[in-house]
């Protein structure tokens, strides 16, 4: 039995059909299992990664886990998984742990702590470290739908947008192929693109122009204060500043794991164009 955590997240929802198509038994964990919309025959289980009391029941009978860990309780999860007889955990981490002084960055520290806890456990752990998710572009959807400019403090900052389907296929590969067990894999999209280039590709996909409004760091923090805590906002801003006009390194890991090149951002934009169009 494979347990997928974060049942409503993009990674788990893309990974689930791949596992089912392969005929593998799957259970989906969520803090709100009743809210899950799962295919017939796929059981849901209560699993709150911030509440260790939910771990034993969710892990009962499980041999492998796809995990997006809560750093505060990653060690407790690893212990519970070991007691339950789990033999393999695939941890969704972040390439942020590879940056300078990750222990000082709130963006990287949570992932780093989760990695340390799982890698120190007796359970074999494979770590996936994606860079930038293509789906981060959804943060611009409201402005694009409203025909308003997208506010950016660093429009020419580079990132390596990774399609969620590539992440899911990479996760499927490491879950099902023993050759990859225990590896540390850094995943990127196939291109280093600026935010301006990504918005241009969204405009091409939607057929409507998208304007950019350059704002100060403080102005952007005020705009996003309702959903991005100040410490995380500062860390994001520092990351973007460090890649302003500077391409980010790319890997061929998606192709090595899945057998095909990573999907370009233009594909993601076409797949999700409806999210950016006014009703």
Query: Which pLDDT belongs to residue 249?
Result: 95
Domain 2-130 annotated CATH 3.40.50.720? yes
Q: Is the pLDDT of residue 99 over 90?
A: no
Query: Which pLDDT belongs to residue 107?
Result: 81
- pLDDT one-digit tens code per residue, 220-242: 999 999 988 888 899 899 999 99
Query: Which pLDDT belongs to residue 8?
Result: 82
Tell me what the pLDDT averaged over the chain comes to: 94
Which stretches of the chain are DSSP H helices?
10-21, 55-59, 74-84, 106-119, 141-145, 164-176, 195-206, 217-224, 230-242, 253-258, 265-271
Q: Is the pLDDT of residue 255 over 90?
A: yes
Is the pTM above the cut of 0.85? yes
- pLDDT one-digit tens code per residue, 165-177: 999 999 999 999 9
User: Which class for 200: exposed (0-12), middle (13-18), buried (19 or more C-beta within 10 A)?
Assistant: middle
Exposure string for 119-141, b = 16+ CB within 10 A, e = fewer? bebebbbbbbbbbbbbbebeebe
Query: Which pLDDT belongs to residue 81?
Result: 97
């Amino acid at each position: 039995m494979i347990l997928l955590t974060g049942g409503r997240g993009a990674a788990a929802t893309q990974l689930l059909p791949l596992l089912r198509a392969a005929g593998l038994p799957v259970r989906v964990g969520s803090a709100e299992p009743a809210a899950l919309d799962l295919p017939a025959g796929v059981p849901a289980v209560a699993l709150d990664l911030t509440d260790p009391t939910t771990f034993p029941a969710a892990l009962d009978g499980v041999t492998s886990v796809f995990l997006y860990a809560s750093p505060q309780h990653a060690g407790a999860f690893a212990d519970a998984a070991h007691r339950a007889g789990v033999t393999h955990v695939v941890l969704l981490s972040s390439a942020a742990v590879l940056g300078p002084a990750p222990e000082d960055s709130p963006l990287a520290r949570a992932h780093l702590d989760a990695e340390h806890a799982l890698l120190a456990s007796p359970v074999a752990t494979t770590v996936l470290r994606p860079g930038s998710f293509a789906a981060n572009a959804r943060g611009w959807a409201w402005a694009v739908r409203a025909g308003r400019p997208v506010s950016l403090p660093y429009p020419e900052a580079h990132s390596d947008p990774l399609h969620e389907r590539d992440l899911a296929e990479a996760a499927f590969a490491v879950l099902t192929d023993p050759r990859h067990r225990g590896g540390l894999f850094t995943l990127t999209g196939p291109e280093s693109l600026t935010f301006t280039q990504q918005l241009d590709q969204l405009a091409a996909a939607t057929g409507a122009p998208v304007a950019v409004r350059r704002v100060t760091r403080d102005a952007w923090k005020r705009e996003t204060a309702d959903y991005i805590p100040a410490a995380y906002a500062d860390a994001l801003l520092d990351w973007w500043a460090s890649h302003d006009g500077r391409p980010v390194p790319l890997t061929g890991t998606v192709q090595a794991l899945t057998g095909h090149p990573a999907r370009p951002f233009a594909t993601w934009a076409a797949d999700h164009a409806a999210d950016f169009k006014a009703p």
